[in-house]
Amino acid sequence: MWTFDKVNGILEIPDPFYFDQKLTEDRNEYEITAKLFYLPSSSTSVIEPSPPPQYVAQSIYHLFKVLGINTIDTFIVYFNGLIFNYSDEVDGSSSNDNFTKSDFDNLIKVWTELEKFHVNNRIHKLGVSEFTKNRLESFINAVEISPKVNQINIIDCNNGEILEFAKKNDIELLTHRDPTVILPSKTFRNIIEETNTNKISLNNDLLPRWVLKYSVMIKCRGVVANKG
């Protein structure tokens, strides 16, 4: 099921009021991790494509409603197009490694929104994904609150420079197996059609702006209680 938030102009999938996944135990019994994916179609501007900072709050409050919570332990953000390129770390190449000033400024704006949730104790740890050593160095020097997590593809986890840098700067390195395209357009259309039980007419040009992946771990048993 999905719902349309008329106030904010957002089509939400799943409908947080229908998709009842509320946690049944005390909040302290769970470890909750979320990862926000900015998609190729994230930007609403054709002139200057950039990741809109407001998607941070949209995704966080969506998860709050779905799980019936008001805090997240670890929140990771992935900016569309970033790839951890091992050769960049070895030969110093700037290919897809050093941000352009415009890109960098846009990422900082998104991070500033995340920092607000951290300051207000809504998120315990902030993280990034696919950041090389060079990216992390530039990023840490520009933000108020440094990332405490860097999630990289499992095939890149043996990179010596990033391991050393992470240890020195107290950054936890996590691995993932997320596909390069987290939500193919065909899959998105299928989801829309399958969940459109009321047969409401929707624009064929409808595009997804972001995807939030989450997992809920029961601390004492180390098992996944919920994910989506």
Residue 20's Cβ-side half-sphere holds a number of Cα atoms within 13 Å equal to 2
Among 25-34, 39-48, 107-116, the range scoring the smallest mean pLDDT is: 39-48
pLDDT value of position 46: 47
Mean pLDDT computed over every residue of the chain: 84
**Which pLDDT tens digit goes with each residue over 134-152?**
999 999 999 999 999 999 9
pLDDT value of position 110: 95
Sign of torsion, CA 95 108 35 32?
A: positive
Q: Is 150 helix (H, G, I), strand (E, B) or coil?
A: strand
H or E element at residue 192: helix 185-195
- Contact present, 12 and 68 (Cβ < 8 Å): no
Q: Longest C-alpha distance within the chain, in Å?
A: 56
Domain ranges of the chain: 20-227
Check residues 33 and 47 and name the one with the higher pLDDT: 33
Give 120's pLDDT tier (boundaries 50, 70, 90): very high
